[in-house]
Chain A
Amino acid sequence: MAQDQALFEYLLRLGDNTLVLGHRVSEWCGHSPVLEEDIALANTALDLIGQTQLWLGLAGEVEGKGRDADTLAMLRDIWDFRNLLLVELPNGDFGQTLMRQFLFDAWQSINLGRLMNSTDPRIAEIAAKASKEAAYHVERSGDTVVGLGDGTDESHARMQKALDYLWPYVGEMFLSDDVDATLVKAGIAPDPASLRDDYDALIGRVMDSATLTIPDSRFTHKGGKTGKTHTEHLGHVLTSMQWLQRAYPGASW
């Protein structure tokens, strides 16, 4: 696979993850359990959207066809999205949202740490900026998972249910394809499988403190990052996210 093509695909993966998750988190605005969480969730969404602008902006540059971050976000259809299935899953209750956030943040913080050593300085620079935010995100979502897992019987049960529901979407983070192989060879991105040990160690520590049980199965749903398939949920995300740009093409906002 040509390196530029692989790089473009890889940047879409990074940018679509933060775009779709940022969108999901922003759905909480004004509806969270306590005022501090309204602030924290808005802040998390804001960071993720900021990272999206950088990743998709660079993707557009690499592609060289004149598409900018907004064009990529607002005018692609579902088959061109490259995010992990995990991030497009519905918010569910607050526990499911925070569990999804933690499972993503843990991977994101490790991946960004590796990308800071990328041979592509543009990627290393964005990763350095984003990793500061990701470090804070994983600390916060991890603490909340612990607090709710080791809280009341009800909060424990809800968090275990969230983990059981989301766990089969975790394995996709560590799958490789030609895109990854091409970039690993060039030293641009890490081999996804190589992140798994650090990830399992981090998740294990937090779930242990949270008194939650990680399911035994390593079965994983897949297809989001390759674009082969998505869940039914993504189409509804795009329907609201892209509505104005689709309904009033060419307008400047």
Chain B
Amino acid sequence: MYAQMVKTAGSGVKSPEEMTPEERDFQDRIDRGEKIEPKDWMPDDYRKTLIRQIGQHAHSEIVGQLPEGNWITRAPTLERKAILLAKVQDEAGHGLYLYCAAETLGVTRDDLTEDLLAGRMKYSSIFNYPTLNWADMGAVGWLVDGAAIINQVALQRTSYGPYSRAMVRICKEESFHARQGFHIMMKMAKGTPEQKRMAQDALNRLWFPALMMFGPSDKDSVHTAQSMAWRIKMDTNDELRQKFVDQTVPQIEYLGLELPDPGITLNKDTGHYSYADPDWSEFFDVIKGNGPCNVDRLAARNKAWDDGKWVRDGLMAHAKKKAAAKTAAE
């Protein structure tokens, strides 16, 4: 889940009687499972909320390059380096699809980028945690991409056509990433005592931040109802989190690692694992900008953007000269 706590625009779900005829038609289309396309009429609040959600999702892909990029130059083998490079390249590509999807709603990529860099838009809290040992490259693929897939598979059915199609494509690549991540974890968990220690350390550090990726508990989530009615949110935060825990606990056991939360137990009646909540005060601190890496991540993105200005300006100036020369020749 790369979009968290997206503020839903508007004043909440309207009853059919409160809706205008246009709004009623729009809601009927969504209820019938039709896709909304860029040129279709849509309520302003739907548009605004989607821009926030897709934009945040795109920003997460972009900032998400940093924690993994942190290990590319230290990858232990040529193959691992190549796989990691390919993965980070995919993420930049996901950012590109998502910005394109957002642009169909009438914003530009540059507007969204400036909102990110000024701190007006957010990215997933998970990327504000550091990657400290090589097993983090496994744990990020396995847990972070694993959590993202659970949300994104659901979003393939979202009501907005361009977003839904971007999700279909992204999910294919994310599944590959999650498998690669798990493969690193297997190597580490079955490796030397030091490697096993790295694997356990990575799991312990990233477990609760991964649970936070799904956003606050349903009882504290104020944005859910309208977004679910619009089918831009498909399941509640707690439903998705439960799915993630149920999927991941047997994998931890398979790896032979200790559970990062000793309270995890299987409830035989429901078939679901019970688990401890993350420390929500930590989550809200990270969201407010006080996570371990918030300042550094944003500084790195700002530096890349500021240092790159002359490059973007230079290439644009050249393109204009070329276009002018072509026009003159015609």
A and B interact:
yes
Q: Chain A residues in contact with chain B, CB under 8 A?
A: 19, 22-23, 26-27, 29-39, 42-43, 45-46, 49-50, 52-53, 56, 69-70, 73-74, 93-95, 144, 146-148, 150-152, 154-156, 158, 240-241, 243-245, 248, 250-253
Residue with the highest number of chain B CB atoms closer than 10 Å, among A34, A56, A73: A34
Q: Does B323 contact A (CB under 8 A)?
A: no
Cβ 8 A contact of B191, one of A144, A147, A240, A252: A252
**B141 CB to nearest A CB, Å:** 14
**A-B CB contact pairs (8 Å), 15 listed:** A19-B78, A22-B81, A23-B73, A26-B72, A29-B65, A29-B72, A30-B66, A31-B304, A33-B308, A42-B92, A93-B307, A95-B311, A146-B318, A152-B314, A251-B194
Q: A150 contacts which chain B residues (CB < 8 A)?
A: 318, 321
Measured between C-beta atoms, what is the minimum distance from B58 to chain A in Å? 9
Give Cα A53–Cα B109 distance, bound, in whole angstroms.
37
B78 in contact with A53 (CB, 8 Å):
yes
In-complex Cβ contact of A151 among B69, B109, B314 (8 A): B314
Contacting pair B85 A46 (CB below 8 A):
yes
Chain A residue nearest to B73 (CB atoms) is: A240
**B307 CB to closest chain A CB, in angstroms?**
7
0/1 interface trace, chain B 53-90, chain A, CB 8 Å (1 if under): 00000000010011011001111111111100110110
With known contacts A33-B311, A148-B311, A155-B314, A244–B74 Cβ distance under 8 A: yes
* Min C-beta distance of B21 to chain A, whole Å: 41
State the CA gap A36–B64 with chains docked (Å).
16
Interface residues of B, count at CB 8 A = 51
Tell yes or no: B312 within 8 A of A by CB. Answer: yes
Question: Does A26 lie within 8 Å of B134, measured CB to CB?
Answer: no
Interface string of B92-131 (1 = CB under 8 A from A): 1101100100000000010000000000000000000000
Do A155 and B134 have beta carbons less than 8 Å apart?
no
Within 8 Å CB of A42, what residues of B?
85-86, 88-89, 92
Contact indicator A35/B307 (Cβ below 8 Å)? no
A31-B1 Cα distance, complex, nearest whole Å: 24
Residue of A nearest to B83 (CB): A46
Is B300 among interface residues, defined by CB-CB distance under 8 A? yes
A252 pairs with B187, CB closer than 8 A: yes
**Alpha-carbon distance between A45 and B275 when the two chains are bound, in angstroms:** 42
Q: Please give the distance in Å from A64's CB to the nearest CB on chain B.
A: 20
Q: Which residues of the other chain, A, contact B88 by a CB distance below 8 angstroms?
A: 29-30, 42
A contact residues around B303 at 8 Å (CB): 31
- The answer on a CB contact under 8 Å between B77 and A147 is no
Q: Is the CB of A148 within 8 A of B315?
A: yes
Contact between B74 and A32 (Cβ–Cβ < 8 Å)? Answer: no
Bound Cα distance from A39 to B134, whole angstroms: 23
Partner of A155, one of B99, B184, B192, B317: B317
Return the 4 tightest CB-CB contacts between A and B, nearest first: A33-B308, A155-B314, A151-B314, A30-B65
B319 located at the interface, meaning its Cβ lies under 8 Å from any Cβ of chain A in the complex:
yes
Q: In the complex, how many angstroms separate the beta carbon of B108 from the nearest chain A beta carbon? A: 13
Contact of B312 among A33, A52, A252, A253 (CB under 8 A): A33
B195 within 8 A of A: yes
Residues in chain A near residue B68, CB distance under 8 A: 29
Asked if A154 contacts B74 (CB within 8 A), the reply is no
Q: CB-CB < 8 A to B192: which residues of A?
A: 248, 250-251
The verdict on B309 contacting chain A, using a C-beta distance below 8 Å, is yes
Q: Is B310 an interface residue (CB 8 A)?
A: yes
Q: How far is the CA of A150 from the CA of B321 in the complex (A)?
A: 9
**What 5 new A-B contacts, CB under 8 Å, besides A26-B73, A39-B89, A147-B318?**
A29-B72, A31-B304, A147-B314, A151-B318, A244-B75
A27, A30, A52, A152, most chain B CB atoms within 10 A:
A30
Most chain A beta-carbon neighbours within 10 Å: one of B68, B195, B307, B317:
B317
Please give, as numbers and ranges, the residues of chain B lying within 8 Å of A27 by CB-CB distance. Answer: 72-73
Residue contact A38 to B78, C-beta cutoff 8 Å: no
Cβ contact within 8 Å between A35 and B310: no
- Whether A33 contacts B79 by the Cβ 8 Å rule is no
Are A36's CB and B85's CB within 8 A?
A: no
Q: A148–B312 contact, CB under 8 A?
A: no
Rounded to whole angstroms, the CA-CA distance of A126 and B204 in the bound complex is 44
Chain A residue, CB-CB nearest to B67: A30
Cβ distance B200 to chain A, nearest Cβ, rounded Å: 15
Q: Provide the residues of chain A in CB contact with B314, threshold 8 Å.
A: 147-148, 151-152, 154-156
* Contact residues of B between 173 and 217, Cβ < 8 Å to A: 184, 187, 191-192, 194-195
Distance in angstroms between the alpha carbons of A156 and B93 in the assembled complex: 29
* Chain B residues whose C-beta falls within 8 Å of the C-beta of A43 in the assembled complex: 89
Closest-CB distance, B51 to chain A (whole angstroms):
18
CB distance from A245 to the nearest CB of B (A): 6
A26:B312 contact, CB within 8 angstroms: no
CB atoms of A32 and B73 under 8 A apart: no
Instruction: Report the bound CA distance from A218 to B247 in whole Å.
Output: 63
B313 at the interface (CB under 8 A from A): yes
